[in-house]
Structure formats: structure tokens, C-alpha cells
Structure 1
């Protein structure tokens, strides 16, 4: 059983005196070890002071440089690019609603009235949001001009993170590959487009296209899976009625 020793307690027996000495030695050794460790740390810091200050300074310079770049270079460039792309978008929208649209798509791509086209935006503002959007529009314009390889090139470079244009870009690449008679590649892109978003617009659209191409590739199991997904997940979509018809065709091919 442990006993409480009051402050100033003096050991009376030999055993108590030895225990007191040992306790004092242990405490002294602990402080000595701590002092030694602190001294080594101080020595290391002193020895490597220039290196440490250099690293800290480099980090500070990088942070300040990044903030300065964003504030004084990137933000003004973003605003300028957003202004420059406006006319090209106008041409593109006009082309979508026009009967003879080739000239308008070309104006959208190459510019007109002293304004940049999408290709100029990509070249001059490639690192901006507008430059990224220009790749999408350029790819779609080339697709409508039946220039399928350029359509693939620009659409593949588009970084679409939203639920609409991202799947539309991938699906359009699939359309281009169909026109180039590369159905295996088309199927891959249709399937990717269908899984990029579960919305009721793009998902059933590209599931249906994937299923139809799978039938052409003599892959009825794959086709049936896509058609069934439309029926199960998007029963109210316009594609659901067509998928029901294709289900019978896929089952007959199995």
C-alpha cells in the first residue's frame, strides 16, 4: 500500500534513503536528456538556419506569386476572354437556327467583323474558362460541318464538368466515330456519355445510341443491358418507347 509523504519528509530508514537518492537521480537524468535533446535541436536549427529560412522564403514567394498571378493576370484574362467569345457564340447560335448554316459555323470558328472565332479564343485564351468552352463549341461546329476528325480532336480536349455539356461532348465524339465507321470507338464514347450524368436528358439519349450500335456490332447482351436500363431508370423519357422495340430485337439475336 502506497503511503503519502508530506513535503519536507526526511527518509528514516536505509531503504527509504536509497529510494530517495534513486528518485533524484532518475529525475536528474530525465532533465539531462531533455536538455541534451533541446541543445541538439538548437544546434541543428542554428546550423541549418539559412536552409530553413530559404525554404520558408521560397514557400512565401510561391504563395504570393500565385495570389498575384490570379489577381493581376488570370482574372483580367478571364474577363477579356469572356468578352471576346461573345460574338463567336452569336454566330454559333444563329447557325443552329439557320437553314444554310455552313457559313455561320465557319464564322463561329474563324471569326468575323473584326472579332475572334472559337479557334482564336483557344489559341489566345487556352487556359481560361472561355478557352475551354471554345473547344466544345469548335468541336460541335466541326461536327455540323462534317469535319469529324477535327470534331473529335476539339471535343476530346474539352473539360466539361457540368451535367449537360460534358455528356453531350462525349456523345458527340461517339457520333463522329459512327460517321467514320468506327463503331467500337463510338460505343465506348456513348457508354461513357451515358454514365457521366443520371439526368433524364443525356443518359437515356446515349444509352439508346449505345444499344443501337451494340446491335450493329452483334453484341445483343450489351444492347439489351442498355435498353433495359432506359426502361428501368428512365421510363418517362422519349427514348423509352424506342428502347422497348429494340429489346425484342436484341432478345431475338441472343
Structure 2
């Protein structure tokens, strides 16, 4: 009986048949290995099921505990701290914009409280970990700075942490001002540079670049001063500080000759 052959059909050689058998064998080995791995995993899970459930329970407890703490403890604490901040901020604003003769008294009220309300210091002590307490460090620092209590100003401003475009640089610059008043120009220069570089904007950056340049000149670092002054001239030509650049630049260049 004739055997039908498809067009183009070519019988496999012995070598090809051997290769096919080897491929099938390899595939079988892979699946067997996977089956063995899966079996071992199942055995491990079965043997450690108790500990797995305990681990999952602990993780769930931690997550739920954290969420509960945020909702039931931290949020009310944040709200209470913000309410206490309101009066202290009013005292601070009145001190900044009001009569200089009574400004120290108003800063004192802002720091220590009045009318049955906490001041910044009590807010820091009683509401640690809140946004309000962090902001209170900022206000307390500038209150002390404006009262010429420079070491206290440094201590509180150093505790303030912020990514804000304005507040972060201003706090660092405030530390620089305090060091300048304490006649520690090297430290002042360091903080002015940090204040200029931590965030770039058209208000705080040229402000602290100029202070850095003037402080550098006082330290006989004319080349450093020129670098900061040139940056103001090139990057912030419309700033208030740019109007003073040529005067200080002339001083700096004369010092290098």
C-alpha cells in the first residue's frame, strides 16, 4: 500500500530525532523541577503556617494601629495645636508691625503666651511632633532674634525643618544673622550660603547671596565675594539686591589687586 507524503515533507534524520528527544527530556526536567519547587514551597508554608499567620497579624496590627493613631490622636492634636498657635502668631505679627517700644513685650507674649493661651515655647513643649510645634520653632527663633537673644534664636531656628521655598531659606538666613551679631562671621557666611542655595527663588536667593558676599569681604575673601555678586548680577538683575552689586563688586575687585 502506497504511503502518502505531504509536499515538501522530509524524513527526520537520526540526529534530529535524538535532538527532539533531548529537548523533550529537558522540558520534562524543567517542569519536574518546578513541580518539586512548588511542592517544597507548599510543604514550607504548611510547616510554618502558624508563624506566617502571626507575621500577617502583626503587620496588620501595626498598620491599623498607625492609622488609628493618626485619626484618633495625631489629627486632634494637630487641630488643638493650630488653635493655640493663632493667638501667639497675632502677638508676633503685632510686634513686627507695631510700635518698636513695646515690641519686646509683644515678642515675650508670643513666646510665653497670654490671655490663657499658650505661647510658642509651650506649644513646642506640649505638641511635639506636630506641624504647629515645628512652625512654632520658626516663630520662636525670630522672636528671640528680634529681641537680640541670639543664642536662643539659633537654638530654635535650628530645630525648624521645612521644604518651603521661603521659610526654609529664611530660617537658615536667620541663623546666619544671629551668628553675625555674635561676631562669628565664618559661621554666618556658612549659613548665608546654605540659605541662598537650599532653594532658588527671586526673593531669598539674592538676599542671602548679598549677605554672603558682604560677609566674605569682611573675612578678606574677595574672590568668594565676587562669585556671589556676579551671580546676583547675572541671575537676579531685577532684584533689589542687584542695585547694590556694583558698589560691593568694586570693593571686591579692588581688594584682589
Q: Provide the TM-score with structure 1 as the length reference.
A: 0.89
After TM superposition, the structure 1 = structure 2 runs for residues 124-203 of structure 1, keeping only pairs within 5 Å, are 124-203=126-205
Look up the match of 1:105: 107
Change (3 A) 1:208 1:46: same
Look up the match of 2:9: none
Change (3 A) 1:18 1:150: closer
Look up the match of 2:87: 87
Change (3 A) 1:215 1:40: same
Moved more, 192-201 or 139-148: 192-201
Corresponding position: 1:225 with 2:227: yes
Change (3 A) 1:19 1:250: closer
* In structure 2, C-alpha distance between the alignment counterparts of 1:125 and 1:174, rounded to whole Å: 27
Look up the match of 1:9: none
For the residue of structure 2 that corresponds to 1:112, the secondary structure is coil
* In structure 2, C-alpha distance between the alignment counterparts of 1:21 and 1:186, rounded to whole Å: 80
Deviation per residue, 1:64-100 (Å, 9 max, x gap): 1111111111111111111011110011011112222
* In structure 1, C-alpha distance between the alignment counterparts of 2:16 and 2:219, rounded to whole Å: 93
* In structure 2, C-alpha distance between the alignment counterparts of 1:62 and 1:83, rounded to whole Å: 30
For the residue of structure 1 that corresponds to 2:114, the secondary structure is coil
Aligned residues between the structures: 246
* In structure 1, C-alpha distance between the alignment counterparts of 2:16 and 2:227, rounded to whole Å: 85
Deviation per residue, 1:144-186 (Å, 9 max, x gap): 1111000000001101221111111110100000111110000
* In structure 2, C-alpha distance between the alignment counterparts of 1:19 and 1:136, rounded to whole Å: 77
* In structure 1, C-alpha distance between the alignment counterparts of 2:126 and 2:239, rounded to whole Å: 41
For the residue of structure 1 that corresponds to 2:165, the secondary structure is coil
How far apart are residue 25 of structure 1 and its match? 5.6
Look up the match of 1:64: 64
Moved more, 41-50 or 13-22: 13-22
* In structure 2, C-alpha distance between the alignment counterparts of 1:221 and 1:132, rounded to whole Å: 38
* In structure 2, C-alpha distance between the alignment counterparts of 1:42 and 1:55, rounded to whole Å: 18
How far apart are residue 196 of structure 1 and its match? 2.1
* In structure 2, C-alpha distance between the alignment counterparts of 1:20 and 1:212, rounded to whole Å: 83
Corresponding position: 1:36 with 2:27: no
Deviation per residue, 1:17-68 (Å, 9 max, x gap): 9888767765654444333222211111111112222221111111111111
* In structure 1, C-alpha distance between the alignment counterparts of 2:204 and 2:173, rounded to whole Å: 9
Change (3 A) 1:33 1:114: same
Change (3 A) 1:205 1:15: closer
Change (3 A) 1:22 1:210: closer
* In structure 2, C-alpha distance between the alignment counterparts of 1:193 and 1:109, rounded to whole Å: 25
RMSD over equivalenced CA pairs, Å: 2.4
After the TM superposition, which segments of 4 or more aligned residues of structure 1 sit over 6 Å from their partners?
13-24
